[in-house]
Amino acid sequence: MANEKKLPEAPEPLWRADVDIPEFPPLEENLEVDVVIVGGGIAGITSAYVLVNEGLKVALLEADQLLNGTSGHTTAKVTAQHDLIYDEFIANFGKSTARLYYEANTDALNFVKKTVEEHQIECDFKEQDAYLYSTTDEYAQKIENEAQAYEKIGIDGGLVDSIPFDIEIKNAIVMKNQAQFHPVKYLAQLVKIIKEQGGLIFEHTVAVDVETGQKTTVLTRNNKRVGGDFVLACSHFPFYEGTGLYSARMKASRSYAVAVKAQESYPGGMYLSVDKPSRSIRSVSTNGEEYIILGGGGHQTGERTDTKEDYNSLRIFSEQVFELEDIQYHWSAQDLETLDKIPYIGELTTSEPNILVATGFRKWGMTNSAVAALLFRDIIIKRDNPYRDLYSPARFYAHPSLKNFFVNNAKVVKHLVQGKMEIPQKNVNDIQNGEGAVISMNGQRKGAYKDESGKLYIVDTTCTHVGCECHWNNSEKSWDCPCHGSRFSYTGEVLEGPAEKPLQQYDYTMLDNLTSEDSGY
């Protein structure tokens, strides 16, 4: 196509561009505080903000940099419309539970709005109606069922028959008075408030374990200790599982987004298709520029190698719907989904009530993170919270949780076996600059990547979590595990848990030990 727009060279989220994000030093001494928070994303930062406002002494530990994970790679919809969910919740858990979920996320939306207004945070917060739309008869019926669920539990919205884009739809459903914002601008301001209120923040500080006793103590990779009355695990995947078996109770998926500049003005609203592949549409006006963000194309982590095609499909979709001027940003995110699609928020296990966890937001962390922060606050200060049982990690419903538990773990076994039986078809000489692949090295499965200068990086592709074989992700240049979603850089360093240890690395000189058959010499 003559007018085809090209993606930028490297993935980069719009949200982190041109935003002054405070930087903090690593932890270099042992500490005693009231609450230790692990994870510098939206759940951890919001929790720290809420707790310092209660007068508690808080220490927040981030393994890398603040807002460099899922919170900085979101579509940033602040809404209780979490895809087709309420009809399913009514069918599986009853009307009261479905209503509680809606109320929890509506309270969270109102919390964000109030926080923005109270501190006059310039984060492009804007109220918007949210829409789900269908393009097939099958999903049109699901939309109708969801509309009936809205009516049953009293959600302000209903069926509509059109959306303001050149997309042929069957029907759509609207949820009124939702919102969108710039998440990094919002959270950067909360970080400043936390610091002003005496909260302690440490970056490049990796939490590796928890020690229970008179104080619940977080142990770090560099042998420092932070003790507290409570520990909050807000690290996307819990850095500490205890006996909670979280890796067996969640699945990881990746999704993609592009930010484009279009010739036409955006008509307003936030949109999500319910058919597959999903397509999300919203706008953002930031720093005097308007962008349209298009997202979607989700798949289970590690199950797709050519992820550049996911970006390409979004590019094609954006060109079909809008008159594009340019594609300026593209990025991906990883999300975790629980067995029953309700996040795990609360006590890690019943035997460890001072360790609290927030995970499994299923792509809807902008509100569920606020739910978590407010629930954590109420547990810590011993205040009643109507959503405590709803989100409790200790719940385990026979339907659909039990079925999903067996399905998910059957997939893990399948990947574990298949990965060990795969015979790599490439060797080192087949790898081009800027390319990665599984290779055969001395008859063993290894992972190789050559950077643009030709430097070679070789790792063992066996995930350090439970031993599944990682697959190459060509757009993110990472090794992704299909079993529980662990991800590693091309040098082998951990990017996403539950894995805690890096992949084994091999020095370039290992090439001297290649057989002539393997090397092609």
Q: What is the pLDDT of residues 153-162, one digit of tens each?
A: 999 999 999 9
Distance from the Cα of residue 439 to its chain's centroid: 30
Under 8 Å between Cβ of 81 and 132: yes
Between residues 514 and 283, the one the model is more confident about: 283
User: What's residue 82's pLDDT?
Assistant: 97
pLDDT at 407 over 70: no
Q: How far is CA 98 from CA 30, 82, 362, in A?
A: 44, 12, 16
User: What's residue 396's pLDDT?
Assistant: 66
pLDDT digits (tens, 9 = 90+) for 31-43: 999 999 999 999 9
- What does the pLDDT average to over 320-324? 92
User: What's residue 54's pLDDT?
Assistant: 97
Nearest-angstrom CA–CA distance, 271 and 279? 8
The share of the chain scoring above pLDDT 90, in percent, equals 60
Least confident of 86-100, 337-351, 362-376: 337-351
- What does the pLDDT average to over 360-385? 97
Q: At what angle do helices 86-93 and 95-119 cross, to 10 degrees?
A: 140
User: What's residue 183's pLDDT?
Assistant: 95
pLDDT at 503 over 50: yes
- What does the pLDDT average to over 177-196? 96
Write down the number of H helices and E strands in the chain: 10, 27
Distance from the Cα of residue 452 to its chain's centroid: 29
CA-wise closest residue to 473 among 464, 463, 465, 482? 482
Which residues lie closer than 8 Å to 104 by C-beta, 6 or more apart?
371, 386, 387, 390, 391
pLDDT at 16 over 90: no
Between residues 157 and 19, the one the model is more confident about: 157
pLDDT at 163 over 60: yes
Helix extents (H) in 53-166: 86-93, 95-119, 137-153
pLDDT at 415 over 60: no
**The two structure tokens encoding residue 34:** 């009231």
Under 8 Å between Cβ of 337 and 346: no
Between residues 488 and 19, the one the model is more confident about: 488
Going by pLDDT thresholds of 50, 70 and 90, the confidence category of residue 516 is: very low
| Environment class of 390 (CB within 10 Å of its CB; exposed 0-12, middle 13-18, buried 19+) | buried
pLDDT at 102 over 70: yes
- The chain-wide mean pLDDT, for the chain, equals 88
pLDDT digits (tens, 9 = 90+) for 112-152: 999 999 999 999 999 999 999 999 999 999 999 999 999 99
Range of 86-90, 335-339, 419-423 with top mean pLDDT: 86-90
